[in-house]
Structure 1
Amino acid sequence: MRARGFHGFAHPFDRLLLMLSLPFLDAPPRFLFFTGKGGVGKTSLACATAVHLVGQGKRVLLTSTDPASNVGQVFNATVGNVVTPVPGIPGLDALEIDPQQAADAYRAAIIDPVRDLLPAAEISAMTEQLSGACTTEIASFNEFTSLLDDETATAAYDHILFDTAPTGHTVRLLQLPGEWTTYLSDGKGDVSCLGPVAGLDRLRHDYAGALAALTDPTRTRLVLVTRPQRSSIREAARTFDELRELGMTNAHLVVNGVMPQYAAADAADDVLVDAVTGREREALDAIPADLAVLPRTTIPLLAFNTVGVPSLRALLDPDATPAAPASDEIASLPDGLTSLRDLVDDLEADGHGLVMCMGKGGVGKTTVAAAVALELASRGHEVLLTTTDPAAHLSETLQAEVEHLTVERIDPEQAIIEYRERVMAGKGNALDDAGRAVLAEDLKSPCTDEVAVFQQFSHVVFRARKQFVVLDTAPTGHTLLLLDATGSYHREITRQMSEGARFVTPLMRLQDQSQTKVVIVTLPETTPVLEAQELQDDLARAGITPWAWVVNASLTASAPTSSFLRARAHAEADPLARVNELCRRVAVMPLLAREPVGTAALSELTRPAMEGTLTDAH
């Protein structure tokens, strides 16, 4: 048996590819939750699974709760906040839940009944308190609770697929203690998650049913989607650990986008194919034990974007692979893009300031932050390189001490401990035993966890007045929404702190580009760019404008000689053009033949252009 190759010619697939098996679809339960980092392909996989199941005669509802959802784009159809039949695929309906729209409706449901009963100042305070991450997540989950709990409403479907599972943060919020409502009504105090809890208490029975469905292995399967990359695999392991502790134990692992062996068939002297294949093999050999024991499906990288039904079918069925466009022509970068070194030249002009590298996990924020910090230090500037990302490994990335460069880490666990102790010693002293018990429970909430880390972050912002501070931020939307609701953060600190305590709210410094340069890092792929655009929109609501974008791991910038990789490079054209539209300052970094680990490799990312092209530099 032979399959069509990456540019229309017949190439023999390796044996494993020909015998592609799909363990994650063996006897699938009614609910399938696809989760993973941005860019791993979970939306494509969810859509392909829906098409696959419909092809077996099943009725399927595909639901997305991802803020950057592109389900409609994948199907070349308009999908919105109502259940919509997917054109050309009888038996498949789709629904894209808009988290912001859901949050607006959730806010209104809580505030409207008391709008005429309370003073305007209290209504304003409630509105802002309901503008954070907790409300957005709970509102989104509230939208599809009925899909999990109301059998009557979904009786027409054999399977319901969710693109993006609820995070451990959401599930913990659903488990908040019910006695908080009584404590609030008695006027004894307040809690950090007041807004979400106020709405949850009305529907606690419904949520209990939803949680029962999530944790029932006969009804729900968690599909952990990863790429064959260390950072992506680490994120899958972290997600599984968190959700497993909360009772979601029925999990399968899907390794997506593995370089197919046939890609090297006409690679000539292209070292990139072998290098990527070697890195993937090392990452999979080192897979954590908890993931290694899960049923695993391996899906090969395709030479084209999975957009449209034929491509979706090909993702799970090699025999259905359509011919990709001819790849003899070399893809080129859009005009106006720059290099990482050029960005550092501009950063250096102010002599100090905060550089915040932001973006989803797995896009290369740590690499970009380390390279920028290293280059600034090599020019004689005092630089602090730090992170709020619990999964970051700055020391492993640098692998050496560097003159003028200090490496630190904001330890979330330590920050939370110190914050809880400080609040209990301050605000807690004025409460009776019952009040202290509830305050202690409040301080276990994920909302206050993030406030604790954000408070540490504010001290880092303060230090940037006199030196360069390069911050590798955590890949979480919760912290970003705290920036959006800095007023809520300010009031939270005021409420929790003892009277007279001093604190700094950093929003004004973040809004001033002479003090703070926000650099959004992404990949040249559809979903990561959409997620980065969503991040830019979130920051805009807080009055923060990104200073630059960095597109990492671009095949176009690498100029590969392999026909397979050239075809992949052509697929970057639309994402790169979109990034060029979204920001006036964009740097592109090539996909590297060797990982940018260690000071020598990191320094190559900012070497002068005259010393070599993007291709021969790596």
Structure 2
Amino acid sequence: MNFLDNAPRILFFTGKGGVGKTSTACASAVYLAGRGEKVLLVSTDPASNIDEVLATPLSGEPTAIRDVENLFALNIDPRAAAAAYRARAIDPYRGILPDAVLENMEEQLSGACTLEIAAFDGFTELLVGNEKTADFDRIIFDTAPTGHTLRLLSLPKAWTGFVADSTTGSSCLGPLAALEKQTRMYAQAVETLADESQTRLVLVTRPEAASIKEASRTSEELAALGITNQHLVVNGQFVATDLTDPVAVALASRAETALSAMPENLRQLALTTIPLAPVLPVGLEGLRRFFAPQIDTSITQVAAIDSVQGDELEQFIEELAASGRGAVMTMGKGGVGKTSIAAMIARRLAEKGHPVTLTTTDPAAHVADAAGQVPAHLLRVERIDPVVEIERYRKEVLSEATELDDDGRALLEEDLRSPCIEEIAVFQAFARTVHQADDRITVIDTAPTGHTILLLDAAQSYHKEVLKRGDAHSDEVTGLLPRLRDPAFTRLLICTLPEATPVHEAADLQEDLKRAGITPAGWVVNQCLQPLAVTDPLLVARRAREAVYLREVADTHASRVFILPWQER
């Protein structure tokens, strides 16, 4: 385990959802404890199943892990932390501001940025040191904050000053006064992260293009903050053992292609490769075998009997064709294949003779190629350029911020680089596109989240609080929410993979949409081995494991499930 050699006291594991951060962090903790070190493992991942992985119920206090001497763990619940953060931010204003304004503030503080800040608020004390961590030789964090969060926390402006001077009175984090008392501790936390004698940041990725791209972006963001003590872990490296299995050969080839195209900034990092495991390392024995996984054929044979049958996506496309109008939206975390699914649906509709518009906000998506050769009068391919939309939005907001001093302006500029702002900036382009779906079928990759929709629908007029745009009350914008809530007009598909983290993140997304009054038309579980006759022993084992997550989707989350087989992308 090269990334554990000569490591400092603090290890941070970060990476996009589903790459194996939690498994790698837990396995590392078990390994180090086995060497005689007293280890504290801290998790803030909202999709984490760390209790199940370690076979020990956890709380917010260090808990001794059963059957592993020297290992302790605690689980900071980011949702509870976010609820406490919202209370600190909003309660002082209750009875002072109108209820409508308080409702707006509540929604401002319901986004991904607030969840991340609140979680960081929870483990910052552990990072800088307190009585909980003093006696430990090693502290392992799963997961680290993003570069955006760290930049936001490291800016020198007092949060109350920014709010008082801001033309909007809020940001993607809502009223920032709640952070004022924490700024000194946050600054110390950022310094600790940047000190290579104290901290090593482990970037976890998979040998897949989307994951590697995300790791590269994260690495650049952290390096720009002076956090250069990084180590890259490629988790899930697959080597085919049955060369007669075409799926195994194609999977190995795709991984090799992705790694050969690795960006230069990642090539300069120290690298550790971990083999693909046949099943998730649940339980202590699985964690002890994580760095050298083995196939348990008895479990494979039993589990393979339990498969889940999904609905046919072709039937869903027939229903769309029969309606002849409306919007189809594919939603999900990066890397689950929502762009290719959107392109496939648009192509099939056009092949049936229906006029279709296909649009995306992914600047790297080759939607025209994915859509295939379809007559132009039937399939119109468009692209919403988020870079253009964000820059236009930034200029308009900054032009109104004439009263801010240099520090306040720096904070506002950083706030305008947040993921929440990107969603809002492209919102009007989405609104225009959906408006066009009155006389044709429009397939959109991807839609705004439920948080963004509610933010725009919040009390006190989103014109001032969110959009800050002169055309905020256009028919396209004001008519969007009713269209999204109309299941006869908008069919929203949640896209995921048959793995723990993507499924749990998709479930969170569905709850987010329900808050906005939107019910998905179904779930698409992409890249499944279940429908395929694989023979490579490792893939046979993974095919069996998929049934657990497919059944969870079918029984717990989705009213309708579409299962798409793995295919080379």
TM-score (structure 2 length as normaliser) = 0.90
Distance 1:397 1:33, change over 3 A: farther
Q: Which residue of 1 aligns with 2:435?
A: 462
Q: Which residue of 2 aligns with 1:408?
A: 382
Bigger shift: residues 372-381 or 500-509? 500-509
| In structure 2, C-alpha distance between the alignment counterparts of 1:48 and 1:413, rounded to whole Å | 39
Structure 1 residue 449, shift from structure 2 partner: 4.1
Distance 1:139 1:233, change over 3 A: same
Distance 1:440 1:224, change over 3 A: closer
| In structure 2, C-alpha distance between the alignment counterparts of 1:384 and 1:461, rounded to whole Å | 10
Q: 2:560 is matched by which residue type in structure 1? A: R
Distance 1:32 1:481, change over 3 A: farther
Q: Does 1:272 align with 2:247?
A: yes
Q: Does 1:483 align with 2:453?
A: yes
Q: Which residue of 2 aligns with 1:307?
A: 282
Is this contact kept in 1: 2:327–2:434, CA < 8 A? yes
From 548, 552, 559, the equivalent of 1:574 is 548
Distance 1:405 1:31, change over 3 A: farther
Is this contact kept in 2: 1:192–1:448, CA < 8 A? no
Structure 1 residue 172, shift from structure 2 partner: 2.9
Q: Does 1:544 align with 2:518?
A: yes
| In structure 2, C-alpha distance between the alignment counterparts of 1:175 and 1:460, rounded to whole Å | 38
Q: Which residue of 2 aligns with 1:39?
A: 18
Question: SS in structure 1 opposite 2:319?
Answer: helix
Uncovered stretches (5+) of structure 2, i.e. residues with no partner: none
Q: Which residue of 2 aligns with 1:293?
A: 268
From 462, 468, 472, the equivalent of 1:497 is 468
From 176, 182, 194, the equivalent of 1:215 is 194
Q: Which residue of 1 aligns with 2:496?
A: 522
Q: 1:356 is matched by which residue type in structure 2? A: M
Q: 1:101 is matched by which residue type in structure 2? A: A
Is this contact kept in 2: 1:521–1:550, CA < 8 A? yes
Q: Does 1:199 align with 2:142?
A: no
Q: Which residue of 1 aligns with 2:482?
A: 508
Distance 1:284 1:102, change over 3 A: same
Q: Does 1:364 align with 2:337?
A: yes
Is this contact kept in 1: 2:159–2:180, CA < 8 A? no
Q: Which residue of 1 aligns with 2:316?
A: 343
| In structure 1, C-alpha distance between the alignment counterparts of 2:226 and 2:373, rounded to whole Å | 41
Structure 1 residue 400, shift from structure 2 partner: 5.5
Structure 1 residue 331, shift from structure 2 partner: 3.1
Is this contact kept in 1: 2:12–2:142, CA < 8 A? yes
Distance 1:31 1:405, change over 3 A: farther
Structure 1 residue 141, shift from structure 2 partner: 1.0
Structure 1 residue 149, shift from structure 2 partner: 1.3
| In structure 2, C-alpha distance between the alignment counterparts of 1:32 and 1:391, rounded to whole Å | 32
Distance 1:375 1:229, change over 3 A: same
Question: SS in structure 2 opposite 1:360?
Answer: coil
Structure 1 residue 369, shift from structure 2 partner: 1.2
Question: SS in structure 1 opposite 2:233?
Answer: strand
| In structure 1, C-alpha distance between the alignment counterparts of 2:461 and 2:364, rounded to whole Å | 29
Distance 1:172 1:355, change over 3 A: farther
TM-score (structure 1 length as normaliser) = 0.83
Question: SS in structure 2 opposite 1:354?
Answer: strand
| In structure 2, C-alpha distance between the alignment counterparts of 1:536 and 1:138, rounded to whole Å | 22
Is this contact kept in 2: 1:33–1:164, CA < 8 A? yes
Is this contact kept in 2: 1:353–1:515, CA < 8 A? yes
Is this contact kept in 2: 1:189–1:435, CA < 8 A? no
Bigger shift: residues 461-470 or 517-526? 461-470
Question: SS in structure 1 opposite 2:204?
Answer: strand
Structure 1 residue 298, shift from structure 2 partner: 1.1
Is this contact kept in 1: 2:295–2:541, CA < 8 A? no
Is this contact kept in 2: 1:387–1:409, CA < 8 A? yes
Q: Which residue of 1 aligns with 2:558?
A: 583
| In structure 1, C-alpha distance between the alignment counterparts of 2:280 and 2:42, rounded to whole Å | 21
Is this contact kept in 2: 1:303–1:324, CA < 8 A? no
Is this contact kept in 2: 1:331–1:570, CA < 8 A? yes
Structure 1 residue 189, shift from structure 2 partner: 5.7
| In structure 1, C-alpha distance between the alignment counterparts of 2:495 and 2:192, rounded to whole Å | 37
Residues 105-504 of structure 1: pairs in structure 2 closer than 5 A: 105-176=84-155, 178=157, 181-182=160-161, 184-185=163-164, 190-193=169-172, 195=174, 197-261=176-240, 263-264=241-242, 269-317=244-292, 321=294, 323-325=296-298, 327=300, 331=304, 334=307, 336-395=309-368, 397-398=370-371, 402-403=375-376, 404-423=378-397, 428=400, 434=404, 442-445=412-415, 446=418, 447-473=420-446, 479-488=449-458, 491-495=461-465, 497=468, 502-503=473-474, 504=477
Is this contact kept in 2: 1:338–1:585, CA < 8 A? yes
| In structure 1, C-alpha distance between the alignment counterparts of 2:537 and 2:171, rounded to whole Å | 55
Is this contact kept in 2: 1:134–1:196, CA < 8 A? no
Structure 1 residue 579, shift from structure 2 partner: 1.0
Bigger shift: residues 228-237 or 339-348? 339-348
Residues 139-161 of structure 1: CA deviation (Å, up to 9, x unaligned): 11111110111244411222222
Structure 1 residue 519, shift from structure 2 partner: 0.8
| In structure 1, C-alpha distance between the alignment counterparts of 2:524 and 2:156, rounded to whole Å | 43
Q: Which residue of 2 aligns with 1:91?
A: 70
Bigger shift: residues 308-317 or 187-196? 187-196
- How many percent identity over aligned positions? 46
From 29, 38, 41, the equivalent of 1:50 is 29
Structure 1 residue 106, shift from structure 2 partner: 0.8
Q: Which residue of 2 aligns with 1:556?
A: 530
Bigger shift: residues 337-346 or 24-33? 337-346
Question: SS in structure 1 opposite 2:40?
Answer: strand
Q: Which residue of 2 aligns with 1:601?
A: none
Question: SS in structure 1 opposite 2:509?
Answer: helix
Q: 2:32 is matched by which residue type in structure 1? A: L
Is this contact kept in 2: 1:135–1:196, CA < 8 A? no
Distance 1:396 1:368, change over 3 A: same
Structure 1 residue 51, shift from structure 2 partner: 0.7
Structure 1 residue 444, shift from structure 2 partner: 4.4
Uncovered stretches (5+) of structure 1, i.e. residues with no partner: 1-21, 597-618
Residues 144-181 of structure 1: CA deviation (Å, up to 9, x unaligned): 11011124441122222222221223223213451562
Question: SS in structure 2 opposite 1:589?
Answer: strand
Is this contact kept in 2: 1:451–1:489, CA < 8 A? no
| In structure 1, C-alpha distance between the alignment counterparts of 2:195 and 2:284, rounded to whole Å | 32
| In structure 2, C-alpha distance between the alignment counterparts of 1:482 and 1:68, rounded to whole Å | 21
| In structure 1, C-alpha distance between the alignment counterparts of 2:6 and 2:205, rounded to whole Å | 22
Structure 1 residue 96, shift from structure 2 partner: 2.2
Residues 298-330 of structure 1: CA deviation (Å, up to 9, x unaligned): 111122221111111111245xx4744264679
Structure 1 residue 460, shift from structure 2 partner: 2.5
Distance 1:121 1:517, change over 3 A: closer
Residues 11-70 of structure 1: CA deviation (Å, up to 9, x unaligned): xxxxxxxxxxx2111111222222222222121111111111111111222222222111
Question: SS in structure 2 opposite 1:69?
Answer: coil
| In structure 2, C-alpha distance between the alignment counterparts of 1:540 and 1:501, rounded to whole Å | 24
